[in-house]
Chain A
Amino acid sequence: MNQRDLELLSSYLDGQLKSSDAERARLERRLSSDPNLRAVLDDLRAARGLLRQLPMRKAPRNFTLTPKMVGKNPPLPRTYPAFRFVTALATLLFFFTMGINFLAPQMASQAPAFGMGGGGAPDVYSAQEAPAVTEAPAEEPSAALAPMPTPTPAAESAPVLTALPPSAEDTARSAVETPAEKNAAPEEGLQLDQPPLPDAQPLAEVQPPVAPVWVVLLAGIALLGALVMLLMRRLAAERWRRK
């Protein structure tokens, strides 16, 4: 009995050899004359018969998947993105108006001619040289890096603002663009004593640009939106669990 015969017998048993197949006719001839071959076929048939008799056991439990098992989140209502957008916008506007109301009095006291555009400039530079920029108008942070400049070197890079006193923008630019050409400041102590510009802050007299009622309203919308979103998530999760 070789491997080839064994495979042929097994396939023959399963009806895999077609009746038109010459191999099948040859095998059947051999089977009728070779008792050993017949014995192997009987053995294979017996094995298959026993395996087919193996009882099919019932699954011990249901193997259905839960949303948690597949890492699925409960479906949120269609209106959810709208609430998310409104809440995000209200939050953004709230902080924006708060910022404006906070900065406006300071700006007004610094330079009446200083428009909103000028106020934005320090923000741009703060990304590059945050400490130098933010502290620049109030007091000179580091003499080595940015000694108290006269407006002259800054004028090269910011000619438009030369007429103004050393504003935040000027100082920042000089700190960023021309730190190398500065000499070490000889009078550090003096600079610290130098009175910064916002010495007079008439906070009480300046009206905030955005009415406080708007700020409160925006805060209210943001809070309400967040609450509604939280509620939506809770309800969706509960409905999902009950499913």
Chain B
Amino acid sequence: MDEQALIHEAQRGSLDAFNTLVLHHQDSIFNTALRILGDDDLAADATQEAFLSAFKSLSSFRGGSFKAWLMRTVTNACYDELRRQKRRPTTPLEPDTEDGEEMDSPRWLADPGLSPEQELEADELEHALQHCLDNLPMEFKTVVVMADVQGMDYSEVAIAVHVPLGTIKSRLARARLRLRECLQGFTELLPASFRLEEGSSA
């Protein structure tokens, strides 16, 4: 049964049809939550909450990309989860992010807040990346996770985040630059051939 048929069945109340959709999307939804929240348990909670909320509001899905629609529910669930944990979403390292010139400043890369435990944890590239993602403002993080980690296109991300396409482009560009600058603090972790490969990765 194709996705549209399953969605239609689920909209008529079929839990089995919806669960088939859950099984199909749960990995990408969980990974999105994981990269946004940076914690396995919180990500699992947010994923479960997202699917529950998706089932309840399935009637509001009016076609288009179901994945983007699900991403929207998981983003909301992540926000709720963060609120519940009373955790600050992220600390913008540069308060004045609207000013393009600020982006050239590498001062924030120093990252004096990294504890020895965190340093140990960051000895893998994945942890380093997650550390840099965690330091992004929430709205930047959601966009870059969907576009670059999940490989969604701009229009899908715009639906998921519910902001105009222009804002997506702007957030994505700034998020990528910030991540690149953050990762320069972990050069020893980057693959040796990375700089050679990057030229061909476009």
Same complex for A and B? Answer: yes
- Asked whether, in the complex, the Cβ of A70 is within 8 Å of the Cβ of B52, the reply is yes
- Asked whether, in the complex, the Cβ of B104 is within 8 Å of the Cβ of A1, the reply is yes
- Asked whether, in the complex, the Cβ of A46 is within 8 Å of the Cβ of B100, the reply is no
Q: Does A72 contact B (CB under 8 A)?
A: yes
Q: Does A59 contact B (CB under 8 A)?
A: yes
Query: Using Cβ atoms and an 8 Å threshold, which residues of chain B touch A65?
Result: 15, 18-19, 22, 51-52, 55
Q: Does A40 contact B (CB under 8 A)?
A: yes
With CB as the reference atom, state the residue of chain B lying closest to A3.
B100
State which of B60-68, B114-122, B167-175 sits at the interface with chain A: B167-175
Query: Out of B99, B100, B169, B183, which one reaches A47, CB within 8 Å?
Result: B183
* Contact of A50 with B26 at beta-carbon distance under 8 Å, contacts A2-B100, A45-B201, A57-B34 already known: no
- Asked whether, in the complex, the Cβ of B201 is within 8 Å of the Cβ of A59, the reply is no
Q: How far is the CA of A65 from the CA of B104 in the complex (A)?
A: 47
Interface residues in B123-144 by Cβ distance below 8 A to A read 125-126, 129, 144
Chain A 46-60: CB-based contact to B (< 8 A → 1; otherwise 0):
111111111111111
Q: Does A79 contact B (CB under 8 A)?
A: no
Query: Out of B51, B99, B199, which one reaches A63, CB within 8 Å?
Result: B51
* Chain A nearest Cβ from B44, distance in angstroms: 6
* Chain B nearest Cβ from A19, distance in angstroms: 15
Query: Using Cβ atoms and an 8 Å threshold, which residues of chain A touch B52?
Result: 65, 69-70
Query: Out of B27, B151, B190, which one reaches A59, CB within 8 Å?
Result: B27
- Asked whether, in the complex, the Cβ of B169 is within 8 Å of the Cβ of A51, the reply is no
Chain A 63-97: CB-based contact to B (< 8 A → 1; otherwise 0):
11101011010000000000000000000000000
Q: How far is the CA of A72 from the CA of B55 in the complex (A)?
A: 12
* Chain B nearest Cβ from A42, distance in angstroms: 7
Query: Using Cβ atoms and an 8 Å threshold, which residues of chain A touch B126?
Result: 54-55
Interface residues in B9-35 by Cβ distance below 8 A to A read 13, 15, 18-19, 22-23, 26-31, 34-35
- Asked whether, in the complex, the Cβ of B173 is within 8 Å of the Cβ of A48, the reply is no
A-B contact count (CB 8 A): 137
- Asked whether, in the complex, the Cβ of A48 is within 8 Å of the Cβ of B201, the reply is yes
Query: Using Cβ atoms and an 8 Å threshold, which residues of chain A touch B149?
Result: 51-52, 54
Query: Out of A7, A46, A54, A55, which one reaches B173, CB within 8 Å?
Result: A7
* Chain B nearest Cβ from A190, distance in angstroms: 71
A51, A53, A54, A67: residue with the most chain B Cβ atoms closer than 10 Å: A51
* Chain B nearest Cβ from A21, distance in angstroms: 14
With CB as the reference atom, state the residue of chain B lying closest to A64.
B19
Q: Does A43 contact B (CB under 8 A)?
A: yes
Q: How far is the CA of A162 from the CA of B49 in the complex (A)?
A: 73
Q: How far is the CA of A3 from the CA of B144 in the complex (A)?
A: 17
- Asked whether, in the complex, the Cβ of B100 is within 8 Å of the Cβ of A4, the reply is yes
Query: Using Cβ atoms and an 8 Å threshold, which residues of chain B touch A49?
Result: 194, 197-198, 201
Q: How far is the CA of A1 from the CA of B44 in the complex (A)?
A: 40
Query: Using Cβ atoms and an 8 Å threshold, which residues of chain A touch B181?
Result: 43
Q: Does B80 contact A (CB under 8 A)?
A: no
* Chain B nearest Cβ from A218, distance in angstroms: 38
Q: How far is the CA of A64 from the CA of B29 in the complex (A)?
A: 13
Q: How far is the CA of A23 from the CA of B178 in the complex (A)?
A: 25
- Asked whether, in the complex, the Cβ of B100 is within 8 Å of the Cβ of A6, the reply is yes
16 A-B interface contacts by CB (under 8 A): A3-B99, A3-B100, A3-B103, A4-B100, A43-B180, A46-B183, A50-B183, A51-B148, A51-B179, A62-B22, A63-B29, A63-B30, A64-B51, A67-B15, A70-B52, A70-B56
Interface, chain A (partner B; CB < 8 A): 1-7, 9-11, 13-14, 16, 40, 42-65, 67, 69-70, 72
Interface, chain B (partner A; CB < 8 A): 13, 15, 18-19, 22-23, 26-31, 34-35, 40, 44, 47-48, 51-52, 55-56, 98-101, 103-104, 125-126, 129, 144, 147-149, 151, 154, 169-170, 172-174, 176-177, 179-181, 183, 190, 194-195, 197-199, 201-202
The 4 closest A-B pairs by CB, nearest first: A3-B100, A10-B173, A51-B148, A47-B180
